[in-house]
Structure 1
Amino acid sequence: MHLRHKLGISDFTIYSNRKLSHNYVVIHPSNAFPKGAIVDSWTGQGVVELDFKTRLKFKHREENYAVNANMHEWIERYGQAHVID
């Protein structure tokens, strides 16, 4: 929610990873993150560049994950009201 409603980053995808049994956010490549980045607050990893090593660590492969459309919709619809300054 903070990425979208506080930092103004809208070019990201929320993934549900079956191999890791949790969700994380991938910020698509940009000036700030040329290779993209994974944001994973659940494991305490924080923001990590989406390089080859990170892809392996997160088992970030198409057969392991799915886009979590429900979370995207919820953030757009209700997220603003739940962001704490």
Structure 2
Amino acid sequence: MTVIGTPFGAVVTHFFHSRVTERTAAPALAEQLRRERIAAYGAFADAVVEYRQAFEVTHRTREAKDEAKGGAERGRCSEEADGAPAAAAAPSVR
């Protein structure tokens, strides 16, 4: 009986020990995943803010250049956007 009981006891002990280890490790892994997600969301938010700031600087720089060129240039650009003078001025290619 002891020959069978000793290995059986070792198997049962191993089973319970592994379950306790899994239960202890699961919250730690969940916390680590939570921290990594928060770090990733923060990095994404930083990238979005940086992009918006760069876009704003670029937009302001273009506005300043347009104002420096004068109203005639700006008027021509808006007419080209409408398509009327650009179509008349550009030769047609066949």
| Greater relative CO, 1 or 2 (CA 8 Å, sep 6+) | 1
TM-score (norm 1): 0.21
TM-score (norm 2): 0.20
Larger relative helix fraction: 2
Larger relative strand fraction: 1
